[in-house]
Amino acid sequence: MEMEIRQLRCFVAVVDEGSFTDAGISLGISQTAVSRNLAALEEYLGVRLIHRTTRSVSLTEAGERALAHARRVLAAVVGLERDAQGGGRLRLGYAWSALGRHTLELQRRWAAELPDVDLELVMDNSPTAGLLEGASDVAILRRVPVAGKAAARTVDLRRIGMEKRYCAMAADDPLAGRRSVALAQIADKALAVDLRTGSTTLELWPVDSRPAKTIEIHSVDDWLTLIGSGKARGVTAESTAHQYRRRGLVYRPVRDAPPVPVHAAWIKGELPMAGRRLIAMLEELYGS
Protein backbone atom coordinates (compact mmCIF):
# COMPACT_ATOMS: atom_id res chain seq x y z
CA MET A 1 0.00 0.00 0.00
CA GLU A 2 1.29 3.46 -0.94
CA MET A 3 0.17 6.98 -0.14
CA GLU A 4 -1.58 8.70 -3.06
CA ILE A 5 -2.00 12.35 -3.94
CA ARG A 6 -5.79 11.98 -4.13
CA GLN A 7 -5.82 10.81 -0.51
CA LEU A 8 -4.03 13.98 0.57
CA ARG A 9 -6.40 16.10 -1.51
CA CYS A 10 -9.38 14.48 0.21
CA PHE A 11 -7.85 15.02 3.66
CA VAL A 12 -7.20 18.71 3.04
CA ALA A 13 -10.60 19.22 1.37
CA VAL A 14 -12.45 17.75 4.37
CA VAL A 15 -10.59 20.15 6.68
CA ASP A 16 -11.12 23.18 4.44
CA GLU A 17 -14.76 22.49 3.56
CA GLY A 18 -15.83 21.24 6.99
CA SER A 19 -17.65 18.09 5.90
CA PHE A 20 -17.25 15.02 3.69
CA THR A 21 -20.20 16.09 1.56
CA ASP A 22 -18.79 19.54 0.81
CA ALA A 23 -15.32 18.08 0.25
CA GLY A 24 -16.78 15.77 -2.37
CA ILE A 25 -18.51 18.68 -4.10
CA SER A 26 -15.31 20.73 -4.21
CA LEU A 27 -13.32 17.78 -5.62
CA GLY A 28 -16.02 16.63 -8.00
CA ILE A 29 -16.30 13.15 -6.47
CA SER A 30 -18.77 11.37 -4.22
CA GLN A 31 -18.87 11.59 -0.44
CA THR A 32 -18.19 7.87 -0.35
CA ALA A 33 -15.01 8.32 -2.40
CA VAL A 34 -13.81 11.05 -0.04
CA SER A 35 -14.41 8.81 2.99
CA ARG A 36 -12.69 5.86 1.32
CA ASN A 37 -9.60 7.89 0.42
CA LEU A 38 -9.31 9.37 3.90
CA ALA A 39 -9.68 5.95 5.49
CA ALA A 40 -6.93 4.61 3.23
CA LEU A 41 -4.63 7.49 4.21
CA GLU A 42 -5.27 6.88 7.91
CA GLU A 43 -4.59 3.17 7.44
CA TYR A 44 -1.31 3.91 5.67
CA LEU A 45 -0.17 6.36 8.37
CA GLY A 46 -1.47 4.20 11.20
CA VAL A 47 -3.22 7.09 12.96
CA ARG A 48 -6.64 8.73 13.06
CA LEU A 49 -6.47 12.14 11.37
CA ILE A 50 -10.05 13.36 11.78
CA HIS A 51 -12.71 12.95 14.44
CA ARG A 52 -16.03 12.25 12.73
CA THR A 53 -19.46 12.99 14.18
CA THR A 54 -22.85 13.20 12.54
CA ARG A 55 -22.67 16.99 12.52
CA SER A 56 -19.02 17.99 12.22
CA VAL A 57 -15.43 16.96 11.68
CA SER A 58 -12.36 18.06 13.63
CA LEU A 59 -8.65 17.35 13.49
CA THR A 60 -6.97 14.98 15.90
CA GLU A 61 -3.54 15.89 17.27
CA ALA A 62 -1.99 13.67 14.60
CA GLY A 63 -4.19 15.36 12.00
CA GLU A 64 -2.98 18.80 13.05
CA ARG A 65 0.62 17.67 12.63
CA ALA A 66 -0.10 16.05 9.26
CA LEU A 67 -2.09 18.92 7.76
CA ALA A 68 0.84 21.28 7.16
CA HIS A 69 2.83 18.48 5.53
CA ALA A 70 -0.13 17.57 3.31
CA ARG A 71 -0.51 21.17 2.16
CA ARG A 72 3.19 21.39 1.35
CA VAL A 73 3.10 18.17 -0.67
CA LEU A 74 0.09 19.35 -2.66
CA ALA A 75 1.69 22.75 -3.24
CA ALA A 76 4.85 21.01 -4.50
CA VAL A 77 2.75 18.94 -6.90
CA VAL A 78 1.15 22.08 -8.29
CA GLY A 79 4.61 23.64 -8.69
CA LEU A 80 5.88 20.53 -10.47
CA GLU A 81 2.94 20.62 -12.87
CA ARG A 82 3.50 24.30 -13.65
CA ASP A 83 7.24 23.88 -14.18
CA ALA A 84 6.76 20.83 -16.38
CA GLN A 85 4.33 22.81 -18.52
CA GLY A 86 6.84 25.65 -18.89
CA GLY A 87 5.38 28.13 -16.37
CA GLY A 88 7.50 29.06 -13.37
CA ARG A 89 6.15 30.62 -10.20
CA LEU A 90 7.58 31.84 -6.89
CA ARG A 91 5.23 32.66 -4.02
CA LEU A 92 6.34 35.35 -1.57
CA GLY A 93 4.32 35.15 1.64
CA TYR A 94 3.78 37.85 4.24
CA ALA A 95 1.60 38.09 7.33
CA TRP A 96 0.75 41.80 7.62
CA SER A 97 2.39 43.88 4.94
CA ALA A 98 4.59 42.95 2.04
CA LEU A 99 7.60 45.23 1.56
CA GLY A 100 6.09 48.67 2.03
CA ARG A 101 7.63 51.24 -0.29
CA HIS A 102 9.83 48.54 -1.85
CA THR A 103 6.93 46.39 -3.06
CA LEU A 104 6.31 48.08 -6.39
CA GLU A 105 10.01 48.35 -7.22
CA LEU A 106 10.50 44.64 -6.44
CA GLN A 107 7.69 43.69 -8.80
CA ARG A 108 9.14 45.87 -11.56
CA ARG A 109 12.68 44.51 -11.17
CA TRP A 110 11.43 40.94 -11.02
CA ALA A 111 9.39 41.29 -14.20
CA ALA A 112 12.40 42.78 -16.00
CA GLU A 113 15.01 40.27 -14.79
CA LEU A 114 12.97 37.04 -14.52
CA PRO A 115 10.09 37.38 -16.99
CA ASP A 116 9.56 33.61 -17.17
CA VAL A 117 8.90 33.25 -13.41
CA ASP A 118 5.74 34.73 -11.95
CA LEU A 119 6.25 36.40 -8.57
CA GLU A 120 3.05 35.92 -6.59
CA LEU A 121 2.54 37.86 -3.34
CA VAL A 122 0.53 35.82 -0.84
CA MET A 123 -0.94 37.22 2.38
CA ASP A 124 -1.13 34.51 5.06
CA ASN A 125 -1.59 35.51 8.70
CA SER A 126 0.30 32.56 10.16
CA PRO A 127 3.56 32.70 12.17
CA THR A 128 5.58 31.64 9.09
CA ALA A 129 3.48 33.56 6.53
CA GLY A 130 2.38 30.37 4.82
CA LEU A 131 5.66 28.43 4.73
CA LEU A 132 4.60 25.55 6.97
CA GLU A 133 1.16 25.53 5.39
CA GLY A 134 2.59 25.14 1.89
CA ALA A 135 1.13 28.48 0.77
CA SER A 136 4.47 30.24 0.13
CA ASP A 137 8.00 29.39 -1.04
CA VAL A 138 9.76 32.36 0.58
CA ALA A 139 8.28 34.51 3.34
CA ILE A 140 8.80 37.95 4.81
CA LEU A 141 8.88 37.70 8.60
CA ARG A 142 9.08 40.58 11.06
CA ARG A 143 8.69 38.24 14.00
CA VAL A 144 11.21 35.39 14.33
CA PRO A 145 9.80 31.93 15.22
CA VAL A 146 10.24 31.09 18.91
CA ALA A 147 13.28 28.93 19.65
CA GLY A 148 12.39 25.32 20.34
CA LYS A 149 9.14 25.45 18.38
CA ALA A 150 8.65 23.41 15.21
CA ALA A 151 8.85 26.51 13.02
CA ALA A 152 12.27 27.47 14.41
CA ARG A 153 13.60 23.98 13.69
CA THR A 154 12.12 23.89 10.19
CA VAL A 155 12.75 27.40 8.86
CA ASP A 156 15.95 29.15 7.76
CA LEU A 157 16.21 32.94 8.07
CA ARG A 158 18.26 35.75 6.56
CA ARG A 159 17.92 39.35 7.67
CA ILE A 160 17.39 41.55 4.63
CA GLY A 161 16.85 44.94 6.26
CA MET A 162 15.39 47.08 9.02
CA GLU A 163 12.24 49.21 9.22
CA LYS A 164 11.35 52.11 11.50
CA ARG A 165 8.46 51.75 13.92
CA TYR A 166 5.31 53.84 13.60
CA CYS A 167 2.37 54.43 15.90
CA ALA A 168 -1.08 54.15 14.33
CA MET A 169 -3.85 56.21 15.92
CA ALA A 170 -7.21 57.77 15.15
CA ALA A 171 -7.01 61.12 13.35
CA ASP A 172 -8.58 62.86 16.36
CA ASP A 173 -6.18 61.28 18.86
CA PRO A 174 -4.43 63.85 21.13
CA LEU A 175 -1.09 62.65 19.72
CA ALA A 176 -2.12 63.02 16.08
CA GLY A 177 -0.90 66.62 15.89
CA ARG A 178 2.67 65.67 16.80
CA ARG A 179 5.40 65.01 14.24
CA SER A 180 6.65 62.01 16.26
CA VAL A 181 5.73 60.24 19.49
CA ALA A 182 7.50 58.41 22.32
CA LEU A 183 6.75 54.97 23.72
CA ALA A 184 5.70 56.44 27.07
CA GLN A 185 3.13 58.66 25.35
CA ILE A 186 1.65 55.72 23.44
CA ALA A 187 1.25 53.66 26.63
CA ASP A 188 -1.47 55.81 28.19
CA LYS A 189 -4.06 54.18 25.94
CA ALA A 190 -4.98 50.56 25.11
CA LEU A 191 -2.65 48.84 22.65
CA ALA A 192 -3.96 46.65 19.80
CA VAL A 193 -1.69 43.62 19.30
CA ASP A 194 -1.59 40.48 17.15
CA LEU A 195 0.05 37.91 19.42
CA ARG A 196 0.62 35.40 16.60
CA THR A 197 2.23 37.45 13.83
CA GLY A 198 2.49 41.10 14.88
CA SER A 199 5.88 42.76 15.20
CA THR A 200 5.00 44.48 18.50
CA THR A 201 4.89 42.97 21.99
CA LEU A 202 4.84 44.51 25.46
CA GLU A 203 8.59 43.81 25.74
CA LEU A 204 9.07 46.91 23.59
CA TRP A 205 8.36 49.01 26.74
CA PRO A 206 10.26 49.06 30.04
CA VAL A 207 8.51 46.88 32.62
CA ASP A 208 7.33 49.84 34.69
CA SER A 209 5.84 51.81 31.79
CA ARG A 210 3.99 49.29 29.64
CA PRO A 211 0.46 49.93 28.36
CA ALA A 212 -2.01 49.01 31.08
CA LYS A 213 -4.40 47.37 28.63
CA THR A 214 -3.96 45.36 25.44
CA ILE A 215 -6.64 44.26 23.00
CA GLU A 216 -5.85 41.15 20.96
CA ILE A 217 -6.73 41.20 17.27
CA HIS A 218 -6.26 38.54 14.60
CA SER A 219 -5.77 40.39 11.33
CA VAL A 220 -4.52 43.69 10.00
CA ASP A 221 -8.08 44.65 9.07
CA ASP A 222 -9.25 44.13 12.67
CA TRP A 223 -6.26 46.18 13.82
CA LEU A 224 -7.07 49.07 11.50
CA THR A 225 -10.77 49.05 12.41
CA LEU A 226 -10.12 49.05 16.16
CA ILE A 227 -7.55 51.84 15.97
CA GLY A 228 -9.71 53.92 13.64
CA SER A 229 -12.52 53.75 16.21
CA GLY A 230 -10.26 55.48 18.74
CA LYS A 231 -10.39 52.58 21.23
CA ALA A 232 -6.71 51.73 20.91
CA ARG A 233 -3.37 52.63 19.36
CA GLY A 234 -0.99 50.33 17.57
CA VAL A 235 2.75 50.14 16.93
CA THR A 236 3.91 48.61 13.69
CA ALA A 237 6.66 48.47 11.10
CA GLU A 238 7.12 51.16 8.46
CA SER A 239 5.80 48.84 5.74
CA THR A 240 2.37 48.73 7.38
CA ALA A 241 2.22 52.51 7.54
CA HIS A 242 3.05 52.63 3.84
CA GLN A 243 0.69 49.86 2.69
CA TYR A 244 -2.43 50.51 4.77
CA ARG A 245 -3.66 54.06 4.49
CA ARG A 246 -7.20 54.59 5.75
CA ARG A 247 -9.43 57.63 6.22
CA GLY A 248 -9.61 58.64 9.88
CA LEU A 249 -6.29 57.00 10.80
CA VAL A 250 -2.77 58.48 10.93
CA TYR A 251 0.75 57.17 11.51
CA ARG A 252 3.52 58.91 13.45
CA PRO A 253 7.16 57.77 13.85
CA VAL A 254 8.08 56.37 17.27
CA ARG A 255 11.30 58.19 17.97
CA ASP A 256 12.66 56.07 20.84
CA ALA A 257 11.73 52.57 19.62
CA PRO A 258 14.28 50.21 18.03
CA PRO A 259 13.73 49.36 14.36
CA VAL A 260 12.03 46.14 13.24
CA PRO A 261 14.32 43.49 11.68
CA VAL A 262 12.94 42.16 8.39
CA HIS A 263 13.82 38.56 7.52
CA ALA A 264 13.45 36.40 4.45
CA ALA A 265 12.52 32.85 5.46
CA TRP A 266 12.24 29.48 3.73
CA ILE A 267 11.91 25.81 4.61
CA LYS A 268 15.34 24.31 5.31
CA GLY A 269 16.76 22.70 2.18
CA GLU A 270 13.92 23.98 -0.03
CA LEU A 271 15.14 27.33 -1.37
CA PRO A 272 14.82 27.30 -5.19
CA MET A 273 17.23 29.15 -7.44
CA ALA A 274 14.61 31.84 -8.07
CA GLY A 275 14.28 32.21 -4.29
CA ARG A 276 18.00 32.95 -3.99
CA ARG A 277 17.67 35.66 -6.62
CA LEU A 278 14.66 37.05 -4.79
CA ILE A 279 16.54 37.33 -1.50
CA ALA A 280 19.46 39.05 -3.21
CA MET A 281 17.03 41.51 -4.79
CA LEU A 282 15.41 42.20 -1.43
CA GLU A 283 18.78 42.90 0.17
CA GLU A 284 19.56 45.34 -2.64
CA LEU A 285 16.25 47.17 -2.16
CA TYR A 286 16.60 47.49 1.61
CA GLY A 287 20.22 48.51 1.28
CA SER A 288 19.58 51.23 -1.29
pLDDT score for 82: 62
Superfamily the domain 165-258 falls into: Periplasmic binding protein-like II (3.40.190.10)
pLDDT score for 68: 84
pLDDT score for 86: 47
What pLDDT band is residue 148 in, cutting at 50, 70 and 90? Answer: low
- The yes-or-no verdict on residue 57 having pLDDT over 60 is yes
The residue ranking higher by pLDDT, 2 or 187, is 187
Domain 5-77 has CATH 1.10.1520.10: no
- The yes-or-no verdict on residue 257 having pLDDT over 90 is yes
pLDDT score for 195: 87
What pLDDT band is residue 149 in, cutting at 50, 70 and 90? Answer: low
d(CA 192, CA 168): 10
Average pLDDT over residues 34-56: 90
Q: Domain map of the chain by residue range?
A: 5-77, 87-156+261-287, 165-258
pLDDT score for 142: 94
Counting residues of the chain whose pLDDT is more than 70, the rounded percentage is 94
What's CA 258's distance to the chain center, in Å?
Answer: 23
Contacts with 224 (C-beta within 8 Å, 6 or more apart), sequence order: 168, 244, 246, 249
CATH (residue range 87-156+261-287): 3.40.190.10
- The yes-or-no verdict on residue 160 having pLDDT over 90 is yes
Least confident of 48-52, 81-85, 160-164, 259-263: 81-85
Task: Please indicate whether the domains covering 87-156+261-287 and 165-258 agree at the CATH topology level.
Answer: yes
pLDDT score for 216: 94
What pLDDT band is residue 89 in, cutting at 50, 70 and 90? Answer: confident
pLDDT score for 81: 66
Instruction: Convert the pLDDT of each residue in 186-222 to its tens digit.
Output: 999 999 999 888 899 999 999 999 998 999 998 899 9
Average pLDDT over residues 60-88: 78
